[in-house]
Structure 1
Amino acid sequence: MALLHEWWVWMAAGIVLAIAEIFLPGYVFLGFALGAVFMGIVMAIGAPLAFAVATLPRILLLFALASLAAWLLLRRLFGFRNAGGKVFDEDINRN
């Protein structure tokens, strides 16, 4: 778990998740990728945000909150995929 305190681990995780997003449908991994990149930046800055990254539960909580915020922002920007279903007015079996 000591690797979660390293900035490059979070950046690498963000890159891997962004690549996974390319190959998989939906915007699921992109929010986590942005959350991981955010955590990489926070870990690289270090001293000003030391209170937020002092313990493993705080690190994971900050990652979860950043990922949730990124996911909600992406949903607002890109909208809901196939939100409106196709509506049929007539029965195709009726002559």
Structure 2
Amino acid sequence: MMWSVWWVWLAGALILGVLEVFVSGYILLGFAIGAAITGILLGIGGPLATLMAGSLPATMLIFAVLSLIAWALLRKVVGVRDGQVKVWDRDINED
């Protein structure tokens, strides 16, 4: 099973990282970070790696959660992109 091999996940992370250079938005970078961490977890071993190697749905769930966390942290660090519309919740004329 290719999805349970650690270097496949790291190769996927590298490919996604290279694709992020061509497509802006930090979306693929979040997936690349999630794939890299998934590959590292599989490479280190332990009970979580055993669970991931034995179950494709568990591996996909862990990858999805790690990618979402990475994307949220990237949005927090990078912030709102230039040109993105800012939504105002308060009018400056209100007291």
CA RMSD of aligned residues (A): 1.4
Kindly provide the amino acid, as one letter, of the partner of residue 76 in structure 2: R
Structure with the higher fraction of residues in helix conformation: 2
Note the 1:13-92 alignment, pairs <5 A: 13-50=12-49, 52-53=51-52, 54-81=54-81, 82-84=83-85
Alpha-carbon offset, residue 25 of structure 1:
1.6
Alpha-carbon offset, residue 45 of structure 1:
1.1
- Normalization by structure 2: what TM-score? 0.81
- Normalization by structure 1: what TM-score? 0.81
Percent identity, aligned pairs only? 44
Q: Report SS of the residue matched to 1:49.
A: helix
Number of equivalences: 84
**For 1:50 and 1:7, how far apart are their aligned partners in 2?**
10
- Which structure 2 segments of 5+ residues have no match? 87-95
For the pair shown, the structure with the greater C-alpha radius of gyration is 1
- Which structure 1 segments of 5+ residues have no match? 86-95
- Please identify, of 73-82 and 30-39, the stretch whose mean Cα deviation from structure 2 is larger: 73-82
